[in-house]
Amino acid sequence: MTPKVSIIMGSTSDLPVMEKAAEVLNNFCIPFEMNALSAHRTPAEVEDFAKNAAERGIEVIIAGAGMAAHLPGVIAAMTPVPVIGVPIKSSVEGMDALLAIVQMPPGIPVATVAINGAMNAGILAAQILAVGDAELKKKILSYKESLKKKIVDANKELVQVKYTYKTN
């Protein structure tokens, strides 16, 4: 099946974070591909990927990067495909990556999730695809309802907990 989402990471060391996006896409039965490409070490390959992504049927790109974190922005500069950036915590608690990804110049948007927020990147990719896919939209609504149910059920359990407050 032709992938609709491409998960790109700056290094295979980012896999423990980025595989969370893959898990979400698997759960929604969305075909995807996953590759390591570096804006600094493999710039020609990044350019080739970005310029050909739409032609290959890619509809959303999730790009994770740490440190200088130029990968999502470089890809966004060369493709009409929406790019979701995942800042990866590798130095300075991930703030360097977050700022590098979120502070894009006008005309080169990168939707950005939280530091190490690949799960939300997967969900956002699914929501973008669901705009034109009624069946996927139903799956997302069901998923959101399951989140609500978890909280409702947790509150029912909290009612059973008794606390004794001590006064001085």
List the beta bridge partners of residue 3: none
| Run of H or E including 57 | none
Sign, CA torsion 82/63/101/105: negative
* pLDDT per position as a tens digit, 32-85: 999 999 999 999 999 999 999 999 999 999 999 998 899 999 999 999 999 999
Any idea how long the chain is?
168
Determine the pLDDT at residue 156: 82
CB contact at 8 A, 79 and 88: no
Determine the pLDDT at residue 167: 75
Using CB atoms within 10 Å of the CB of residue 100, give its burial: 0 to 12 exposed, 13 to 18 middle, 19+ buried: buried
- In whole angstroms, how far apart are CA 44 and each of 37, 75, 121, 157? 10, 11, 25, 55
Strands of the sheet with 111-112, listed across from one edge: 32-36, 5-9, 60-66, 83-88, 111-112
Q: Sorting pLDDT into bands at 50, 70 and 90, what band is 93?
A: very high
Q: Sorting pLDDT into bands at 50, 70 and 90, what band is 159?
A: confident
What is the chain's mean pLDDT, rounded? 95
CB contact at 8 A, 10 and 89: no
